[in-house]
Amino acid sequence: MASTSPESAAAGETNDSIHIRRLELSDHERGFVALLSQLSACPDLTASEFATRFAELAAQGDDHAILVAEDPSASDRRILATGCLFVERKFLRGGGKVGHVEDVVVDAAARGSGLGLRIVRRLVEIAREAGCYKVILDCTPELRAYYAKCGFVEKGVQMAVYF
Protein backbone atom coordinates (compact mmCIF):
# COMPACT_ATOMS: atom_id res chain seq x y z
CA MET A 1 0.00 0.00 0.00
CA ALA A 2 2.91 2.33 -0.58
CA SER A 3 1.73 5.88 -0.71
CA THR A 4 3.68 6.25 -3.89
CA SER A 5 2.65 3.10 -5.66
CA PRO A 6 0.12 3.17 -8.48
CA GLU A 7 -3.34 2.68 -7.07
CA SER A 8 -4.79 -0.71 -7.82
CA ALA A 9 -8.33 -0.94 -9.05
CA ALA A 10 -9.29 -2.68 -5.84
CA ALA A 11 -7.94 0.09 -3.67
CA GLY A 12 -9.49 2.97 -5.61
CA GLU A 13 -13.04 4.25 -5.43
CA THR A 14 -14.93 5.59 -8.40
CA ASN A 15 -18.52 5.24 -7.23
CA ASP A 16 -18.80 9.02 -7.18
CA SER A 17 -17.59 11.89 -9.31
CA ILE A 18 -14.87 12.27 -6.68
CA HIS A 19 -12.10 9.71 -7.09
CA ILE A 20 -10.08 8.40 -4.16
CA ARG A 21 -6.56 7.23 -4.95
CA ARG A 22 -3.04 7.07 -3.55
CA LEU A 23 -0.93 10.20 -3.20
CA GLU A 24 1.22 10.95 -6.25
CA LEU A 25 4.34 13.07 -6.54
CA SER A 26 2.48 15.53 -8.79
CA ASP A 27 -0.03 16.22 -5.99
CA HIS A 28 2.44 18.79 -4.71
CA GLU A 29 1.14 20.99 -7.54
CA ARG A 30 -2.48 20.19 -6.73
CA GLY A 31 -2.63 21.85 -3.33
CA PHE A 32 -1.90 18.84 -1.14
CA VAL A 33 0.27 20.80 1.31
CA ALA A 34 -2.19 23.70 1.42
CA LEU A 35 -4.96 21.23 2.23
CA LEU A 36 -2.96 19.84 5.17
CA SER A 37 -2.60 23.39 6.48
CA GLN A 38 -6.37 23.33 7.12
CA LEU A 39 -5.61 20.66 9.73
CA SER A 40 -2.46 21.95 11.41
CA ALA A 41 0.56 24.17 10.90
CA CYS A 42 1.91 23.13 7.53
CA PRO A 43 4.33 25.55 5.88
CA ASP A 44 4.69 25.10 2.15
CA LEU A 45 7.33 22.66 0.91
CA THR A 46 9.43 23.15 -2.18
CA ALA A 47 9.02 20.53 -4.88
CA SER A 48 12.37 19.11 -3.85
CA GLU A 49 11.44 18.91 -0.16
CA PHE A 50 8.15 17.29 -1.09
CA ALA A 51 9.92 14.74 -3.30
CA THR A 52 12.36 13.87 -0.51
CA ARG A 53 9.60 13.14 1.99
CA PHE A 54 7.60 11.31 -0.69
CA ALA A 55 10.58 8.99 -1.30
CA GLU A 56 11.08 8.41 2.43
CA LEU A 57 7.46 7.35 2.79
CA ALA A 58 7.63 5.19 -0.32
CA ALA A 59 10.53 3.34 1.30
CA GLN A 60 8.09 2.24 4.01
CA GLY A 61 6.28 0.24 1.36
CA ASP A 62 2.96 -1.20 2.39
CA ASP A 63 3.28 0.18 5.92
CA HIS A 64 2.36 3.70 4.89
CA ALA A 65 -0.57 4.78 2.72
CA ILE A 66 -1.78 8.28 1.96
CA LEU A 67 -5.11 8.57 0.16
CA VAL A 68 -6.28 11.69 -1.62
CA ALA A 69 -9.59 12.63 -3.22
CA GLU A 70 -9.92 14.59 -6.42
CA ASP A 71 -12.53 15.45 -9.00
CA PRO A 72 -10.99 14.14 -12.24
CA SER A 73 -13.25 16.40 -14.30
CA ALA A 74 -12.05 19.58 -12.56
CA SER A 75 -9.62 21.65 -14.62
CA ASP A 76 -7.07 22.07 -11.81
CA ARG A 77 -7.67 18.64 -10.21
CA ARG A 78 -7.11 20.15 -6.74
CA ILE A 79 -6.86 17.69 -3.89
CA LEU A 80 -10.13 17.85 -1.98
CA ALA A 81 -9.44 15.49 0.90
CA THR A 82 -6.75 13.30 2.36
CA GLY A 83 -6.09 10.76 5.08
CA CYS A 84 -3.17 8.56 6.07
CA LEU A 85 -2.78 5.03 7.38
CA PHE A 86 0.40 3.95 9.13
CA VAL A 87 0.80 0.24 9.89
CA GLU A 88 2.68 -0.51 13.10
CA ARG A 89 4.31 -3.96 13.29
CA LYS A 90 4.28 -5.45 16.79
CA PHE A 91 5.81 -8.43 18.60
CA LEU A 92 2.65 -8.97 20.61
CA ARG A 93 -0.43 -10.66 19.23
CA GLY A 94 1.85 -13.12 17.44
CA GLY A 95 3.56 -10.37 15.50
CA GLY A 96 0.33 -8.49 14.95
CA LYS A 97 -0.19 -5.20 13.14
CA VAL A 98 -2.03 -2.06 14.21
CA GLY A 99 -3.30 0.59 11.81
CA HIS A 100 -3.02 4.25 12.80
CA VAL A 101 -5.23 6.74 10.98
CA GLU A 102 -3.65 10.19 10.78
CA ASP A 103 -3.98 13.53 9.02
CA VAL A 104 -7.60 13.34 7.89
CA VAL A 105 -8.80 16.58 6.35
CA VAL A 106 -11.43 17.61 3.82
CA ASP A 107 -11.19 20.97 2.07
CA ALA A 108 -13.53 23.45 3.79
CA ALA A 109 -15.50 23.93 0.55
CA ALA A 110 -16.05 20.18 0.16
CA ARG A 111 -17.11 19.28 3.71
CA GLY A 112 -20.49 17.83 4.54
CA SER A 113 -20.84 15.70 1.42
CA GLY A 114 -19.56 12.38 2.77
CA LEU A 115 -15.98 12.68 1.55
CA GLY A 116 -14.44 12.45 5.03
CA LEU A 117 -16.48 9.31 5.66
CA ARG A 118 -15.31 7.73 2.40
CA ILE A 119 -11.64 8.48 3.04
CA VAL A 120 -11.64 7.05 6.57
CA ARG A 121 -13.67 3.98 5.62
CA ARG A 122 -11.23 3.27 2.79
CA LEU A 123 -8.26 3.61 5.16
CA VAL A 124 -9.92 1.13 7.51
CA GLU A 125 -10.48 -1.29 4.62
CA ILE A 126 -6.81 -1.05 3.67
CA ALA A 127 -5.83 -1.78 7.28
CA ARG A 128 -8.10 -4.82 7.32
CA GLU A 129 -6.66 -6.05 4.03
CA ALA A 130 -3.14 -5.56 5.46
CA GLY A 131 -4.01 -7.89 8.35
CA CYS A 132 -4.26 -5.31 11.14
CA TYR A 133 -6.16 -6.51 14.20
CA LYS A 134 -7.33 -2.97 15.02
CA VAL A 135 -7.24 0.61 13.77
CA ILE A 136 -6.82 3.53 16.15
CA LEU A 137 -6.69 7.31 15.96
CA ASP A 138 -6.63 10.42 18.14
CA CYS A 139 -9.16 13.21 17.83
CA THR A 140 -10.75 16.07 19.69
CA PRO A 141 -13.98 15.47 21.63
CA GLU A 142 -15.87 17.47 18.97
CA LEU A 143 -15.06 14.79 16.39
CA ARG A 144 -16.41 11.84 18.38
CA ALA A 145 -19.65 11.81 16.39
CA TYR A 146 -17.84 11.97 13.05
CA TYR A 147 -15.53 9.07 13.84
CA ALA A 148 -18.43 7.11 15.31
CA LYS A 149 -20.09 7.50 11.89
CA CYS A 150 -16.87 6.08 10.43
CA GLY A 151 -17.26 3.00 12.66
CA PHE A 152 -14.93 3.87 15.55
CA VAL A 153 -15.76 3.43 19.23
CA GLU A 154 -14.24 5.43 22.07
CA LYS A 155 -11.46 3.57 23.88
CA GLY A 156 -8.86 4.71 26.42
CA VAL A 157 -7.30 8.11 26.90
CA GLN A 158 -5.01 10.04 24.58
CA MET A 159 -1.79 11.37 26.14
CA ALA A 160 1.03 13.30 24.53
CA VAL A 161 4.41 14.95 25.01
CA TYR A 162 5.04 17.80 22.59
CA PHE A 163 8.53 19.03 21.66
Ligand X SMILES: CC(C)(COP(=O)(O)OP(=O)(O)OC[C@H]1O[C@@H](n2cnc3c(N)ncnc32)[C@H](O)[C@@H]1OP(=O)(O)O)[C@@H](O)C(=O)NCCC(=O)NCCS
Q: Which parts of this chain interact with ligand X (CB under 6 A)? A: 38-39, 104-106, 111-117, 139, 142-143, 145-146, 149
The residue among 4 and 152 lying less far from ligand X, judged by its C-beta, is 152
Q: Which amino acid is at 162?
A: Y
The residue among 97 and 111 lying less far from ligand X, judged by its C-beta, is 111
The least distance separating ligand X from the CB of residue 52, rounded to whole angstroms, comes to 25
The residue among 2 and 36 lying less far from ligand X, judged by its C-beta, is 36
Burial code (b: 16+ CB inside 10 Å, e: under 16) for 141-150 equals: eeeeeebeeb
The least distance separating ligand X from the CB of residue 21, rounded to whole angstroms, comes to 17
The residue among 5 and 113 lying less far from ligand X, judged by its C-beta, is 113
Sign of the alpha-carbon torsion through 80, 55, 150, 44: negative
Q: CA 145, CA 40: separation in Å to the nearest integer?
A: 21
Q: Give the nearest residue (CB) to ligand X.
A: 116
The least distance separating ligand X from the CB of residue 91, rounded to whole angstroms, comes to 28
Q: CA 143, CA 138: separation in Å to the nearest integer?
A: 10
The residue among 10 and 109 lying less far from ligand X, judged by its C-beta, is 109
The least distance separating ligand X from the CB of residue 65, rounded to whole angstroms, comes to 17
The least distance separating ligand X from the CB of residue 115, rounded to whole angstroms, comes to 4
